[in-house]
Chain A
Amino acid sequence: MHERFRAFSFVDRITSIRPGVRIRGKYAIPSAVEAFPSSLVAEAVGQLAAWAAMSAVGFERRPFVAGLAGSIELLAPVRPGQELEMTVELESVDAEAAAAVDGSPVLRLHNCVGPMLPQEDYDDPRLLRDRFELLCGPGAAPGGFGGVPTLPLRYVGGETGQCARAQLQVPASAPFFADHFPRRPVFPGSLLMHENMQLAALLATEIPVPTDHPRWVLQTVSNLKLRAFIPPGATLELAAKVTEQSVDSAAVAVETRMGGRVGGGARVLLVPEKPS
């Protein structure tokens, strides 16, 4: 399968590992991609955590990494061509993780929990073992990722500065499903997080900005919880709603529904950007 370990795989090399305890790894963001959003940085550290967790149980189970995340600090944007240096500390299946570029932190994850699911339902354990050996040895050839397709949000209404609603059509087929996951394609939680952040950012443009600040920026995503597997072709209803607002910050609750059922949610904290 041409896209396997290319279309949605964000660990090139595992540089050190204590199975089930700590893992470090690297990922070179291909220069050719248009952008590499923070949600994909979170995906990369999540995948590194998954390698640690899977190797600790002989690849018989895999963590559903996007299940729960206590908080994700969005510290700095990353650019194509940069290399991510990632560290994950695991406590049981509870993880703390970070990514840095040139030694400067770009993202931190706290209190992430991934329920462990049977590997055979999602992937081939043998292929994963081979891939793990490669990552722990010479590493994978960088540059396999060709970017994710643009998934336009269709704005369907809201109340200016208070709430916004949009519809997202998950593609019926896309290269990333080859990696996520070969035996059971699932729309990645990190891409859903990205779409939710896009909607929160759109709402942020409608919230009055405190004097002397150019705009609101997303600082933290917290209480991220994914409740359902989203299959290819699903139609999702996204909503973002301002729940608190002061001169220092604004909190936005984001929620995704699939067929009327809540599929996921999170809280996004906005802060005024410092004047340059």
Chain B
Amino acid sequence: MTNTDITQEEIQAIFPKVAATMADALGCEVEKVKPDASLIDDLGAESIDLLDIVFRLERTFKVKIPRGKIIEEARGDLAESEFDNGGDVSDAGLQRLRTFLKEVPAGRFKSPLRVADIPRLFTAETFCKIVIRQQRAAPVSGAAQGG
């Protein structure tokens, strides 16, 4: 499954609930959570906030989001050694990230990009997509579907 088959309609259907969940976790106004807002650079999230957001999304949407899922899916069939070049994302890895995280504005992909800095790219829409993918992978009856 890829990110490319997820429609804007699907994203817009769940975005209000995702945004509310993020605003609650970050203690900010929901209006500040825009689809293309970087959670770390624009909303001031720290790693503990990302963990908080993931758990809240799991509870809200009744899905499981394995830790490291976004990077793992972005890497696809690239071996870890082909993706991670001594702590920097390799050229091939960067290409994969650009394709997988196409909601992220192109200017945010720095080169070299540290693997540890990949979460800086994540936007609110990135999390909408992972929720949708996980809903498709394991739909649960009675799960929250949208706003």
Whole-angstrom distance from the CB of A33 to the nearest CB of chain B? 32
Q: Let me know if A225 and B55 touch, CB within 8 A.
A: no
CB neighbours (8 Å) of B27 from chain A are 223, 253, 265
Report, nearest first, the 5 A-B pairs whose CB atoms are least far apart.
A113-B55, A68-B52, A227-B48, A227-B46, A115-B51
Q: Let me know if A113 and B59 touch, CB within 8 A.
A: no
CB neighbours (8 Å) of A68 from chain B are 48, 51-52, 55
**Would you list 26 pairs from A and B whose C-beta atoms are within 8 A, ordered by A residue?**
A67-B48, A67-B51, A68-B48, A68-B51, A68-B52, A68-B55, A92-B64, A94-B55, A94-B58, A111-B55, A111-B59, A113-B51, A113-B52, A113-B55, A115-B48, A115-B51, A223-B24, A223-B27, A225-B48, A225-B49, A225-B52, A226-B48, A227-B46, A227-B48, A253-B27, A265-B27
CB neighbours (8 Å) of A227 from chain B are 46, 48
CB neighbours (8 Å) of A111 from chain B are 55, 59
CB neighbours (8 Å) of B24 from chain A are 223
A198-242: which residues lie under 8 A (CB-CB) from chain B? 223, 225-227
Q: How far is the CA of A223 from the CA of B48 in the complex (A)?
A: 12
- What's the dominant secondary structure at chain B's contact region? helix
A66-98: which residues lie under 8 A (CB-CB) from chain B? 67-68, 92, 94
Please classify how large the interface on chain B is, using the bins under 10, 10 to 19, 20 to 34, 35 or more: 10 to 19
Please classify how large the interface on chain A is, using the bins under 10, 10 to 19, 20 to 34, 35 or more: 10 to 19
B 19-34 binary contact with A (CB < 8 Å = 1; else 0): 0000010010000000
CB neighbours (8 Å) of A226 from chain B are 48
- What's the dominant secondary structure at chain A's contact region? strand
- In the complex, given contacts A67-B51, A68-B48, A111-B55, what are 10 additional A-B residue pairs having Cβ atoms less than 8 angstroms apart? A68-B51, A68-B52, A92-B64, A94-B58, A111-B59, A113-B52, A115-B51, A223-B27, A225-B52, A253-B27
Q: How far is the CA of A225 from the CA of B51 in the complex (A)?
A: 11
- Select from chain B the residue with minimum beta-carbon distance to A253: B27
- Select from chain A the residue with minimum beta-carbon distance to B49: A225
Whole-angstrom distance from the CB of B125 to the nearest CB of chain A? 24
B34-86: which residues lie under 8 A (CB-CB) from chain A? 46, 48-49, 51-52, 55, 58-59, 64
Whole-angstrom distance from the CB of A42 to the nearest CB of chain B? 18
Whole-angstrom distance from the CB of A112 to the nearest CB of chain B? 10
Q: How far is the CA of A211 from the CA of B64 in the complex (A)?
A: 47
Q: How far is the CA of A268 from the CA of B58 in the complex (A)?
A: 24
CB neighbours (8 Å) of B64 from chain A are 92
Q: How far is the CA of A226 from the CA of B49 in the complex (A)?
A: 10
CB neighbours (8 Å) of B59 from chain A are 111
CB neighbours (8 Å) of B55 from chain A are 68, 94, 111, 113
Whole-angstrom distance from the CB of A89 to the nearest CB of chain B? 14
Whole-angstrom distance from the CB of A191 to the nearest CB of chain B? 19
- Select from chain A the residue with minimum beta-carbon distance to B52: A68
Whole-angstrom distance from the CB of B140 to the nearest CB of chain A? 14
Whole-angstrom distance from the CB of B147 to the nearest CB of chain A? 21
Q: How far is the CA of A265 from the CA of B24 in the complex (A)?
A: 13
Q: How far is the CA of A107 from the CA of B59 in the complex (A)?
A: 22
Q: How far is the CA of A92 from the CA of B59 in the complex (A)?
A: 13
A 240-255 binary contact with B (CB < 8 Å = 1; else 0): 0000000000000100
- Select from chain B the residue with minimum beta-carbon distance to A113: B55
CB neighbours (8 Å) of A115 from chain B are 48, 51
Q: How far is the CA of A111 from the CA of B54 in the complex (A)?
A: 12
Q: How far is the CA of A113 from the CA of B54 in the complex (A)?
A: 11
B 81-117 binary contact with A (CB < 8 Å = 1; else 0): 0000000000000000000000000000000000000
Q: How far is the CA of A253 from the CA of B27 in the complex (A)?
A: 10
Whole-angstrom distance from the CB of B66 to the nearest CB of chain A? 9
Q: How far is the CA of A68 from the CA of B27 in the complex (A)?
A: 14
Whole-angstrom distance from the CB of B22 to the nearest CB of chain A? 13
Q: How far is the CA of A94 from the CA of B54 in the complex (A)?
A: 11
Q: How far is the CA of A92 from the CA of B52 in the complex (A)?
A: 14
